[in-house]
Amino acid sequence: MAARNRYRLLPSVDRILSDERVRALANGGEPGIATIIVRQAIESARLAIAGGSEAPTEDQLVESVLGLAGAAFEPSLRPVINATGVIIHTNLGRAPLSDDAIEAMAAVSRGYSNLEFELEAGERGSRYAHLESVLTRLTGAEAAIAVNNNASALLLTLSTLGHDGEIIISRGQAVEIGGGFRIPDVMAQSGARLVEVGTTNRTYLRDYEAAITEQTAAIMRVHASNFRIVGFTVAPSINELGSLSRKRGVLLIDDIGSGCLLDTTEFRLAPEPTVRESLETGAHLVLFSGDKLLGGPQAGVIVGRADLVAQLRRHPLARAVRMDKASIAGLTATLHHYLRGEALTKVPVWRMIATPLSEIERRARRWARAIGQGGRVLDGRSMIGGGSLPEESLPTRLLAIPGEGGYIAELALRLRMGDPPVIARIERDSLLLDPRTVQPEEDRDLITAVKTALEVA
C-alpha cells in the first residue's frame, strides 16, 4: 500500500480523544494535555509510515498515547540504589538523609510552621534562630547563619565583608568547584579583588604578610576538599594564618568545604579539618557544606564572630540565598544526631564509613548466593567522594559479575533503567556492586533488580 494511503488510515485526533481510556487522562488534569499527547502519538506514527512501516491500528495508537502519558507524568527525579561504592556521590544527590531528618522535613512541610514566628511573644521572628543555637553548641562559635549552599555562603561572605576590598588567597587554592564554578569567579562577582600569593605548590606565610595592605579585607584559606597537590609543597597552617591575621588586624575566612565534625583519623582516613579546630586556631568565619561529611540536606553554613554574622544577615543577598523551612528542619535534625553522640549510627554517611568490613563481606556473600550467575566476592575500595577527603578510600568487599565488555555494558544499562534504578560501576570487564553504599533495607530490591537484568541480558 502506498505511503499516502497508509496516512489515511490514521484516525483523527478527536477520534482518539473520544476513547474512554484517553478521556481519563484529562479528568482533573491540565486542559489540553491529552490533546498534546495524542498529537505526539499520531506524529510518531506518521514518521514511522514515512520510514516504511504500516499504519498502526486505533488500539495501537491508544496504547502509544497511554505509554506517552505514563512517561509524561513520571517524575524525572527518582530514587536510585547507589552500588558504586562512592559514599558522597555528587551526581546521585550527595549525602542521604537520616530517618529523623526526613521526618522533620515532612513534619514542617505538611502544614504551617513557626518558621518566622515567635510563639511566646506572638510576633515575627527569624528563620535563622532555629539553626543558630545548635550550630553554636556544636562548634563553639559565637553565632551562625545557614544559606542554600556553600557557594552561596562564600558569595554572601565576600559580598558583605570583601566588597571593594582585597582578599588574599594562595594561588594553589584559587580552584574550580563543582559544576565549573571557580573561586576567582565567585570572588569577582562579590566585588572583592583577588590577590593571589605564592605558587601553585608552595606558598609561605611571608607571602601572605607581604601582600597585606590598607586595602586588605581578609585572608582566605580554601581547604583542598576535592583535590590534592602532592610532592614538593608548602602551605601555612590555619594556626599560622590565625596568628598573622591577629598580628596585622585583618580577618581570616576559612572555607573548609566538607563540614566535618568528627575525627576522620579514627577510621584510618587522612585528617580532615573540623569546624571547631578552625575556629579555635584563629578563623573569624568558617564556611562549610551541609550535604557532604556533615550528612544533612544541601546547605552552606557560616559560623564565627557574632558581629560579622550580624553583618551577613543584614546584607540584601542573604534573602536571595536563604534556606527554606524543610531544609532548616532537616539540617537541625542532622545536627542533633551529633549533639546526642549518635552520628555513627544515625547519619547514613558516617554509618557507611563506620560499617565493619565483616558486615560488608557478609552482605556481599549473601548477594552472591542469591544472585548466582558466576558472581564472586572480591576485595575493593570504597571512595569517600563528593568534595571530601580527596583520594581517600576504605577497604570493602565487592560483588563482581564477570563478562565481556558489551555484555557488561548492557547489563549496567538494564540496571540503570530498572525500577528502582541500580547504579553500579564497571572495571576490567566486570560489573561491581559495593554493599557499603547500599542501605541494608535496599538489599532485597537490589538482588531482584540484578536477577531480572541477568535474565534479560
pLDDT at 337: 98
Report yes or no on 134 lying in a domain. yes
Q: Which range of residues forms the domain containing residue 167?
A: 99-346
Cα-to-chain-centroid distance, residue 41? 37
In this structure, the number of other CB atoms found within 10 A of the CB of residue 97 comes to: 22
Residues 332, 198 share a domain: yes
Burial class (CB in 10 A: 0-12, 13-18, 19+), 190: buried
Contact between 415 and 390 under an 8 Å Cβ cutoff? The reply is no
Burial class (CB in 10 A: 0-12, 13-18, 19+), 253: buried
Residues 284, 211 share a domain: yes
Contact between 236 and 205 under an 8 Å Cβ cutoff? The reply is yes
Report yes or no on 433 lying in a domain. yes
Report yes or no on 104 lying in a domain. yes
* End-of-domain residue from the set 294, 318, 346: 346
Report yes or no on 359 lying in a domain. yes
Report yes or no on 319 lying in a domain. yes
Residues 283, 158 share a domain: yes
pLDDT at 24: 78
C-alpha cell at 428: 576490567
C-alpha cell at 2: 502506498
Residues 112, 260 share a domain: yes
Residues 383, 341 share a domain: no
Report yes or no on 398 lying in a domain. yes
**How far apart are the C-alpha atoms of 159 and 312, rounded to whole Å?**
9
**How many domains would you assign to the chain?**
3
* End-of-domain residue from the set 286, 319, 346: 346
Query: In terms of residues, how long is the chain?
Result: 457
| Backbone region of residue 372 per phi and psi (left: phi > 0; alpha: psi in -120 to 50; beta: other values) | left
Beta bridge partners of 234: 202
Residues 240, 202 share a domain: yes
Q: Which of 44, 164, 75 minimizes the C-alpha distance to 420? A: 75
Contact between 264 and 389 under an 8 Å Cβ cutoff? The reply is yes
Residues 230, 196 share a domain: yes
Q: Which of 50, 256, 279, 307 minimizes the C-alpha distance to 153? A: 256
Report yes or no on 407 lying in a domain. yes
Report yes or no on 146 lying in a domain. yes
Q: Taking the CA atoms of 57, 60, 66 and 68 in sequence, report the sign of the dihedral they define.
A: negative
* End-of-domain residue from the set 324, 346, 368: 346
Residues 28, 132 share a domain: no
Cα-to-chain-centroid distance, residue 19? 44
Residues 438, 320 share a domain: no
Please name the residue that has the C-alpha cell 540503570: 416
pLDDT by 10-residue block (mean), the chain, 457 residues: 71 87 70 83 89 87 87 87 96 96 98 96 95 96 97 95 93 69 78 88 92 95 68 81 95 93 93 92 96 97 98 96 98 98 97 97 97 90 82 93 89 94 93 97 96 84
Residues 274, 161 share a domain: yes
Q: What is the CATH number of the domain that holds 248?
A: 3.40.640.10
Residues 268, 317 share a domain: yes
Residues 47, 173 share a domain: no
